[in-house]
Structure 1
Amino acid sequence: MSRPRPLAFAAGGLSKTFGDVAAVRDVSFVVPAGTVAVVVGPAGAGKTTLLKLLLGQLEPTSGTARVGGPGSGIRRGRQPIGAMLSPRTLHPARTARGQLRVFAAAAGVSDDRVEELLALVQLTDLAGHRIGTLSPGHQTRLALAVALLGDPPLLLLDDPTAGLTAPEIAWLNEYLRGHTRRGGTVLSTARTLSAALPIADELIVLDHGAIVYQGSPARLRRSHPDRLLVRASSPIALATALAAEGYTDAVMRPDGRLAVAEASLAQLESAAQTARVQLTEITPEHVHPDQVLATLTHRPTTPAFPAYGMPR
């Protein structure tokens, strides 16, 4: 039997209020070492506040926030943490290289490491440019370089894909995957499920400071499956035949169509033949991840990308 992985991040009953506003409400979760967990939620969901509580930048109103396992609180510094928060807190008048060197000097890191990181985030050619002239995507990459200065095993990244292009996001996801393969752990945030799914081992979905979903992307996908929308001469007979073959997730829509999950087109046609039901229309319904997020948070969400099904 394999040993359970140590915990990198944990919260227990964590809450934070500002006056009458509850920014984080009774949040509990654990993130095992060697994984990527993504806190997902729309603007104002409490994501940045949660990261600041974990970093010790804010004191919780109640509950506990722990980093690095029992007895290794963040103030004891046993495990270095690299953090990137929003806003990025970069000085607009400094150059990219100058900003990195300021943080490197404070952390006791050499200038050689600064040049290594500029190359890693592909900012060497812009290293002499003032930060205020850089694009939001370039500033995000620079903030990532700051977080990586001490080569920390634990990364807390707030909206790390902000302003990045699709190729840059693909590079970042692969880098973070490599970080976990090397034994590191990542806790990041995202405003959309479509941004989180390519990288997340675990999802923590927040709405108004409270967790509305916690678990794997696969489990979330199973609860919001793609479906085939079917018009049939007898939807009830078709649903009965499908249930007899083990396909019990069939829902009658208000327009009279039967919405069937998990069954393939061939399986659907076989059930129709068994029930002697005529199929007059079959339309695939692909559930976009951000439609799922809108359902979980009860907020309208416009998909950031063309519609596609959630990963299985």
Structure 2
Amino acid sequence: MSRARTPAITAAGLTKRFDATVAVHDVSFTVTAGSVAALVGPPGSGKTTVAGLMLGLVAPTAGTRTVEGRAGAVLDPRGLQPGATVRGQLRVYAGAAGAPDEEVDALLVRTGLRDLAGQRVRSLGPAQQIRLAAAIALLGDPPVLVLDDPFDGLEAPDRSWLADLLRGHTRRGGTALLTSQSLAAAVPIADQLIVLSEGVVVYQGTPRTLRRSHPDRLIVGASSPIALATALAAYGFTDTVMRSDGRLAVAEAGRKDIENAAVAARVQLTELIPEPVHPDRVLAALTRSGPAPVSPVPTSPYGVPR
């Protein structure tokens, strides 16, 4: 069996109760080595509890978890000492991990913190704190990384940096499990999505599969919407929804396809407007979170890389 097919992280029926509150219920998933999985959901959905369960920081009420090899963690809060210098903070953890000073220097370079090595942690911004927390997590080159809400407070360039860091880790055979409140932040990096709502898994699969079930659409105004929809169906474009304002919301068909169908049906087009579906709107539809704040997406509206 190849390494890429080997399970690195496994959750089986994980349930956690805090007194009368069920934080997570019957959560199961598998993350293969060499991949990135994202636990996504609104605040209170159980993401941090699951991350704690996987790290052994929280004892399950029921179910089992398996992590192959040592895990490095980026927690929230980050566990950094405000008065320490960047290098000093990293050296403290390196000493506990038995890592040499040479590795500290290499990680400062790898995480872009070399020029900040002498600064106090209290002077760092959110993005720089994430870099330092990531450097600490990478000490000793653990095969598994678990990151709790690492995108919080990051702008697009720092999100891209973190994605590159995790991709480098997986190219070397490592595995990552991260949590995120934003689907838009997770889809460009995740190979697998596990969406949680009120402690229960409501979606599990690839970003591409999720996108297919929530496609972008073209909003079409036509002199005869029904005739146009019939013509589109004849061309094989059956995912067409009639809106309350009389316009059609058409998926999969391109502008030229709609124009050809309109000619065939002898229908005049009065409007043709793209309506991309933002990932965080999809997250709101999947979960019981109400209207979702829309996080910026650095590339295409869905950000699916493959």
Give the TM-score normalised by structure 2: 0.94
1:301 is aligned to 2:300: no
Q: 1:39 maps to what in 2?
A: 39
Q: Give the match's secondary structure for 2:5.
A: coil
Post-superposition Cα deviations, 1:154-211, rounded to whole Å, max 9, x if no partner, equal 1111122233332222122112112111111111111101100110111111111111
Q: 1:21 maps to what in 2?
A: 21
CA contact (8 A) 1:249 1:261 kept: yes
Alpha-carbon distance, 1:225 to partner: 0.6
Q: 1:6 to 1:306 in 2, by over 3 A?
A: closer
CA contact (8 A) 1:140 1:162 kept: no
Q: 1:267 to 1:35 in 2, by over 3 A?
A: same
Letter in 2 for 1:282: L
Residue number among 247, 253, 258 corresponding to 1:257 in the alignment: 247
Q: 2:108 maps to what in 1?
A: 118
CA contact (8 A) 1:140 1:163 kept: no
Residue number among 157, 170, 175 corresponding to 2:165 in the alignment: 175
Q: 1:133 maps to what in 2?
A: 123
Q: 1:84 maps to what in 2?
A: 74
1:213 is aligned to 2:203: yes
Higher alpha-carbon deviation: 32-41 or 126-135 = 126-135
Q: Give the match's secondary structure for 1:159.
A: coil
Structure 2: 5+ residue stretches without partners: none
* Cα distance in 2, alignment partners of residues 24 and 11 from structure 1: 12
Alpha-carbon distance, 1:224 to partner: 0.7
* Cα distance in 2, alignment partners of residues 114 and 190 from structure 1: 28
CA contact (8 A) 1:14 1:25 kept: yes
Give the TM-score normalised by structure 1: 0.92
CA contact (8 A) 1:202 1:215 kept: yes
Letter in 2 for 1:153: P
* Cα distance in 1, alignment partners of residues 143 and 267 from structure 2: 59
Show the 5 A alignment for 1:1-312. Answer: 5-68=5-68, 79-298=69-288, 299-305=290-296, 309-311=301-303
Letter in 1 for 2:84: R
Q: Give the match's secondary structure for 2:43.
A: coil
Higher alpha-carbon deviation: 215-224 or 19-28 = 19-28
Letter in 1 for 2:78: R
* Cα distance in 1, alignment partners of residues 303 and 154 from structure 2: 22
Alpha-carbon distance, 1:108 to partner: 0.7
Alpha-carbon distance, 1:311 to partner: 4.3
* Cα distance in 1, alignment partners of residues 137 and 12 from structure 2: 26
CA contact (8 A) 1:221 1:311 kept: no
CA contact (8 A) 2:3 2:34 kept: no
Letter in 1 for 2:158: E
* Cα distance in 2, alignment partners of residues 84 and 191 from structure 1: 16
Structure 1: 5+ residue stretches without partners: 69-78
- Identical counterparts, % of pairs: 59
Instruction: Count how many residue pairs are aligned between Structure 1 and Structure 2.
Output: 302
* Cα distance in 2, alignment partners of residues 127 and 25 from structure 1: 43
CA contact (8 A) 1:218 1:311 kept: no
Letter in 2 for 1:27: V
